[in-house]
Amino acid sequence: MKRFIFLASVALAALVSCCKTDQKDYTSFVDPLIGSGGHGHVFVGANVPYGMVQVGPQQIRDAWDWCSGYQYSDTLVIGFSHTHLSGTGIGDLGDILLMPYDPAKTIYSSEYMPRKKAVATHVYAHLDHSLEKVSPGFYSLEMPDYGVNVRLTATERTGLHEYTFTADTSAILVDLCSGIGWDGVTDWELTVKDETHIEGYRRSSGWAKDHTYWFAAEFSEPVIGQKTEVITDKEYATALLFDTSVSKQIFVKVGISPVSAENAWENLAAEQSGWDFEGVYADAKDSWNEKLGLIDIVPMDDVQARIFYTSLYHTMISPALFSDVNGDYRGADGKVYNNPTDQYTIFSLWDTYRTASPLMTIIDRNMASSVASTLMNIYDQQGKLPVWHLAGNETDCMIGNPGVIVMADLCLKGFVDEGSMSDVLEAMKVSSMLDERGQEFLKEYGYIPFDKSFEVETVSKAMEFAIADACLVKVAEKLGDAEAVEYFGERSQSWKKHYDAETGFVRGRASDGSWRTPFDPFKAIHMKSDFTEGNAWQYTWLVPQDPQGLIEIMGGAEPFAAKLDEFFVAEGDLGPDANDVTGLIGQYAHGNEPSHHVAYFYNYVDQQYKCAEKVRYILDELYFDNHEGVCGNEDAGQMSAWYVLSAVGLYQVHPAAGEFQFGSPAVKKAVLNVGGGKTFTVVAENNSPENIYILGATLNGKTLDRTYVTYDEIMAGGVLEFTMGAQPQTL
């Protein structure tokens, strides 16, 4: 049954409005190396928006900061692979690795030997950032070790490599077997079909327990021989040899597929018919300009423009396409399905439900519709909405029911046709009643005790489940399901049972109702106690679905505001296991998602000016236009999405069709293309680095006496105008 309907007229109008010949070159403002150092973990390479292929340099993953396969501090590269993660806290992928080199000058990686995850003899080259160029849809690297220059570009399902050699005989290593870090190869196959065509697959197990990508590759020059390169004592790869005595340049085009080699060939034929590198790159650049142009800003300065458009770029790397040109894709149950709507993977939903997904619902309705279709198909295939989906696998990474949250937001915003909304509600209810990940104890006790079945991170889990339950209630109310409203409405209040009025914090609770002792609100003990990547200071505020309830339980607006003030200045020992708690302002941790909404809580106690102060400080002090420009894991676009919406002046606090609260617009003007030929323009009059406060606001010329606009008001188009000033004023 086809459940999801997206109006073709809306898609066409958006396409027409975005594809103008005089379009601004937004890609010139993007620096993909921002966030590639520190803990940013972003992908570096060539791709198109939401593409299946992310072709780029691959390094041996030495530690946590190599999750994307690239870390700016590293000086070695082992090749160029076709799939990558961006900004995640766990690594995987790196499929179909090619490495051009001079076989007479093979360098092996003895330099890796001191490293914890050393690979003893992998062919490698030195990476010099002064010889590296990267922009949306393009990557190049000169490798003097071998006298090879590499250029890469991509389409949705294919990568195009251009190798320029100096040697008369050159080689391209095709490595399908290396366990280069997080995942281990379980099976692989390489078939040389003829002198210019090869195909095969790589199957591995890691974060995604069983993922396979097939590939089809064509060379512009004939293969004249083969040799085996030993990778480790158990692994080897095939090197294809080429005569480069006359033509020094070899092109390789590679199609990939989650289904079959035949589909990979079909993808390649559909998306790359020739050898026009400049043409493919121009198309990739056009694709990026179309997407980046969905928000046109007047920035304060060039630095802000770079940070803004690089952030917007980061939000469009994933989810990644997971279906072939013929509509085939591999489902969550391992079976092959066909769907005319593009299907996607890489759903870091615990992160992205907060800002990245709401941003998508404003500026990319086509993509949001495809996501809705994909999430429901995953439900049909695995029996629950996804938690963290990767390459057709449910990883169950992170906590709560983020798939329920995202699906509720999409449903309430009109990305599901009315006839299918009952199916969505049923999927949400089924997912929320499974006896797994602590939910079984939530059903039994009304909270999650820490002394049952070695359960860990109980407080964080309960807080997240409560958010999902509240989102489910909003859908149930819309459909008139009184039973679901009553049951999940009560369960959505379960977070209150973890709140200790005596200490003023949420904390761990035993099955007999007693509190865990001793208690230290500063300690962040990941995977060992009551909190996930955070502490009691941070998780006490994780009630975006019920700010008024949190205000009441804290004793009213005055003590609530006082504790908020303390939150942003409190200092204490977080303990030795707090890698994810970064970007600290007091105990506010911008480098991780549970804190992302907290500055906007000031709006709920009539102190919007304090919200403006905190938001503008975060925008100015925790984002930079250099390789350490993201203060925590990018997390599949969430960190950057926070910057984009907050710089525009808006933030959706309630994650399911909530109001977009005002912060402090950092740009002078932003025009958002909301589809259907409409735009929503935000103007910040008198804006400057000093004028951070909103003195007044009008919507379509009418004075606003509130600190938010609704989703429907945004999507209707119009003009939101702020008057900015240097002195705080209560709105």
Query: What is the Cα–Cα distance from 397 to 90, expressed in whole angstroms?
Result: 10
Question: How far is residue 597's CA from residue 234's CA, in Å, rounded to a whole number?
Answer: 49
Percent of the residues in the chain that have a pLDDT greater than 90, as a whole number: 87
pLDDT on residue 109: 57
Classify strands 718-725 and 693-699 as parallel, antiparallel or unpaired: antiparallel
Per-residue pLDDT reduced to its tens digit, 29-51: 999 999 999 999 999 999 999 99
CA distances from 393 to 180, 335, 384, 398, 558 (A): 20, 12, 12, 14, 47
Residue type, 427: A
Tokens 């991170």, located at residue:
457
Q: Which CATH number fits domain 45-292: 2.70.98.10, 2.60.40.1890, 3.40.30.10, 2.60.40.1180?
A: 2.70.98.10
Domain ranges of the chain: 45-292, 295-725
**What pLDDT is stored for residue 17 in this prediction?**
38
pLDDT of residue 731: 73
pTM score: 0.95
CATH superfamily of 295-725: GH92 mannosidase domain (3.30.2080.10)
| Residue pair 479/421 in contact by the 8 Å Cβ criterion | yes
Alpha-carbon distance 186 to 722, whole Å? 57
Report pLDDT for 123.
Answer: 82
Res 730: pLDDT: 75
Q: Residue ranges of the chain with pLDDT lower than 70?
A: 1-22, 108-122, 178-181, 230-234, 525-528
pLDDT (0 to 100) of residue 528: 64
Chain position carrying tokens 């939910």? 439
Let me know if the fold of 45-292 is the same as that of 295-725: no
Instruction: Please state, in angstroms and rounded to a whole number, the distance separating the CA atoms of residues 358 and 413.
Output: 10
Backbone angles phi, psi at 635, to 5 degrees: 55, 60
Tell how strand 249-257 and strand 158-165 pair up: antiparallel
What 3 state SS string does 434-470 have?
Answer: CCCCCHHHHHHHCCCCCCCCCCCCHHHHHHHHHHHHH
CB 313 within 8 A of CB 644: no
Confidence (pLDDT) at 8: 31
Helix (H, G, I), strand (E, B) or coil at 347: strand
Place of tokens 């080259």: 125
What is the model's pLDDT at position 307?
Answer: 98
Residues contacting 517, CB < 8 A, separation 6+: none
**Helix (H, G, I), strand (E, B), or coil: what is residue 632?**
coil
